[in-house]
Amino acid sequence: MLDKIAIRKQLLDKRASLGSELLDKAGKTAAEKLLSMEEYLAANTVMVYMDFRNEVPTSGIIGQIRRVGKKLILPFTDKDFNLIPYAIPEEGNLSDYLITSNYGIAEPNPDLCREASRDSIDLVILPGSAFDRYENRMGYGKGCYDRFLPTLRPDAFKLALAYDFQVLPCIPADPSDVKMDKILTLETTF
């Protein structure tokens, strides 16, 4: 079995080569599939990532969350790679509340948004570099989500979005790696 660094590089290189047509399809499919998930329907507060570098696009999901009146939470990453959840105001354009991080990722502006209570989060939608059929997730190597997820309520639902090629039969997992409750891809939900 390849190690985490080799798996991550291989899959991120493949993801980097995806064309805009597939990205558009992936974003639409993810939003459509999410609409029928009972975990999404039951959630009042949803935390979702802002897609970056060909991650499964989330703009459709974010728009949907805002349209139906659910509370939208976006992650802000501090200098020590800790995720801080921020509530996005319901009024106005989403772009009005965002800044660009040093890594080029759109994040909530802490001056315009308030930090959200971690206990309020019902559903977390997150990215990753690799996954397996046992709900293991491999992130990007900084441990941001693996440190953040244990601070949520135990019943907060963890949903990963991935392309089919990112889900392998088995990936190396450490005890500190947090398992997903479901992995949603274009073709299958694990």
Of the CA atoms within 13 Å of residue 138, those in its CB half-sphere come to: 24
Residue 57 inside a domain? The answer is yes
Residue 64 inside a domain? The answer is yes
C-alpha distances in Å from residue 78, one per residue of 46, 82, 84, 166: 20, 5, 7, 27
Task: Tell me the average pLDDT across 127-152.
Answer: 94
Q: How many domains does the chain have?
A: 1
Q: Is the pLDDT of residue 169 over 70?
A: yes
Q: Is the pLDDT of residue 190 over 60?
A: no
Sign of CA dihedral 180, 80, 3, 50: positive
pTM: 0.94
Integer Cα distance of 47 and 118 in angstroms = 10
Among 139, 123, 52, 45, smallest CA distance to 87 is for 45
Residue 60 inside a domain? The answer is yes
Task: Tell me the average pLDDT across 3-10.
Answer: 91
Residue 77 inside a domain? The answer is yes
Residue 190 inside a domain? The answer is no
Tell me what percent of the residues of the chain surpass a pLDDT of 70.
98
Task: Tell me the average pLDDT across 127-143.
Answer: 93
**Residue 169 burial (C-beta neighbours within 10 Å; 0-12, 13-18, 19+):** exposed
Predicted confidence (pLDDT) per residue in 145-167, tens digit: 999 999 999 999 999 999 999 99
3-state secondary structure of 119: helix
Tell me what percent of the residues of the chain surpass a pLDDT of 90.
88
What was the pLDDT predicted at 127? 96
User: What phi-psi label fits residue 54: left (phi over 0), alpha (psi between -120 and 50 degrees) or beta?
Assistant: left
What was the pLDDT predicted at 143? 87
DSSP secondary structure letter of residue 97: G
What was the pLDDT predicted at 174? 86
Residue 189 inside a domain? The answer is no
Residue 124 inside a domain? The answer is yes
Task: Work out the mean pLDDT of the chain and round it to a whole number.
Answer: 94
DSSP bridge pairs for 77: 83
pLDDT grade for 47, boundaries at 50, 70 and 90: very high
Range of the domain at 149: 4-132+141-184
Q: Is the pLDDT of residue 77 over 90?
A: yes
Residue 13 inside a domain? The answer is yes
Identify the CATH number of the domain in which residue 158 sits.
3.40.50.10420
DSSP secondary structure letter of residue 178: P
Q: Is the pLDDT of residue 112 over 80?
A: yes
pLDDT grade for 189, boundaries at 50, 70 and 90: low
